[in-house]
Chains A and B, each alone.
Chain A
Amino acid sequence: MTARCTRSRTRHTRRSWLSALAVGASVALFMSLFLLAGCATVQPWERGRLSHRTMREGAEPEADNMAAHEAGAREGALTPGASGGGGCGCN
């Protein structure tokens, strides 16, 4: 019993460290890319591909609303403007 608890605690500690490492590495990667963006100069006439609707934020509001509703119930996210709680068979 004690050995099982110790093994479980060790596994839990290892998982916490891996989580912290994954988050730290991701933040470092994104921050590096943001710093690179400081050097970028993209003129309006160079943004043709970026203006495509699949690259725009909120281009599919109906699907975004459905995803935000589900994320609020399952993954802990109150998205401003999204549907409120209840009704998804999960409350």
Chain B
Amino acid sequence: MLVLLLTAAGARADDRVGASVFVHSDDDGLLVVHPVATAVVAVQEETHVSARYDADVVSAATVDVRTSASPHGFDETRHGGGLGVTHDLTRTLHLGLGYGISYSPDYMTHSGAASLSVEDDQRIHTVGLSLAAAYDSVGRTGEIDWVGHVTNLASELSWTAVLSPVAVMDLVGALEWKDGYQENPYRYVPIESGSGQSVVYVTEEVPDQRLRGALRGRLRLAPEDWLFLRGSYRFHMDDWGVAGHTVRARVAAEASDRWLLSLNGRFYSQRAASFYQGTYSTLPYIPDIRTKDRELAHSWYLAGGARVEYEMGGWLGFAWRVDLRGEVKWQRYFDTPVLPQRTSVTVGFGLSIER
């Protein structure tokens, strides 16, 4: 918090500093505490710099961990950080650059991103292009060498349009290419004989390349001075055969000058990867591609939550706000021998200052 205040001390117009803590827990023995702090500071009228720190403090004794990696579960911490700069090249042309790093004992990511957006003179339409690249290293905790590496390349093309004084819409298309080690080094797949009497456990094997595409449309509405709505639909698919639909909706209402209340809901449905099987009964033959990653299985989830924000007023020239949020998610998996469903709860508390 001291760092946040020191950063805020050097802040100018359009500055914002915020910090939140999220706690995520599910009925499969997973507990994640996720603190995150972000700061955006205008160093010149047309140039902003931003910084982010976040972490995941994980305590996991899930059924997958207990049966594959450690019978007693594990505790682990991931640290992540990022730096970014945006610059207005002209009144309607904006450039952004960013770098991020994420480290845990068995996973490290370096990523870079560049974006360019252009608006028309009336500022009705905005078209943006983002390019990102990341290099991941995957390993096992306690081992010196990485098991493998993954190269990620991603691009995103967006189009935002102001439809009326109360409506904004955007359409986003994205492509992502992954190449490298995409298995979980802790995961072993049981291969059974037809009778089920013999079982051998072999390491997970999935294709080295993966091409994903996604399309998202979103509508933001402000039908009243105090009422704000947003809804979106996202479709994604990849060459592993996975295809998913995500529908999101949010209603936010200003109950007074200080209170902002919002409700949100999400529905997600996913088709399984073409090579996913709940049980591989192929012994003595061992398939070249095999996985028991339930995130590649047919699944769907429903989530709903609420958020309350309170504006404490102006102090030191900033608007100070606190918020409290919570969300419940129920996920159903199909063709998974264990854990056919999972319920999780996420709660979060945040503080931000802005001017």
Residues of A at under 8 Å CB distance from B? 15, 19, 22-23, 26-27, 29-31, 33-34, 36-37, 40-42, 44, 46-50, 52, 54-55, 57, 61-63, 65-66, 69, 73-91
Contacts and interface: CB of A to CB of B under 8 A. Distances in A.
Interface string B208-242: 00001011010110100100100001111010001
Contacts of A40: 124, 161-164
Given A33-B163, A40-B124, A50-B166, A23 B100 contact: no
Given A15-B271, A49-B222, A63-B20, A80 B102 contact: no
B107 interface: yes
B235 A86 contact: no
Contact of B235 (A26, A74, A90): A26
A77 B174 contact: yes
B278 interface: no
B36 interface: yes
Contact of B161 (A34, A52, A87): A34
B30 A89 contact: yes
B56 A88 contact: yes
Contact of A76 (B55, B214, B352): B214
B82 A87 contact: no
Nearest to A37: B161
Contacts of A22: 235, 245
B17 to A, nearest CB: 10
B156 A23 contact: no
Contacts of B348: 63, 66
A15 B136 CA distance: 35
A62 B124 contact: no
B262 interface: yes
B54 interface: yes
A86 B106 contact: yes
A65 B37 CA distance: 10
Given A42-B162, A49-B225, A87 B78 contact: yes
B262 to A, nearest CB: 7
A80 B58 contact: no
Given A84-B80, A87-B56, 16 more contacts: A30-B217, A37-B162, A40-B124, A50-B165, A50-B166, A74-B268, A76-B244, A77-B236, A80-B115, A81-B84, A81-B111, A88-B32, A89-B32, A89-B56, A91-B107, A91-B138
Contacts of A62: 18-20, 36-38, 350, 352
A89 B134 contact: no
Contacts of A91: 106-107, 138, 184
B268 A86 contact: no
A34 B260 CA distance: 30
Interface string B118-154: 0000111100001110101010000000000000101
B176 A78 contact: yes
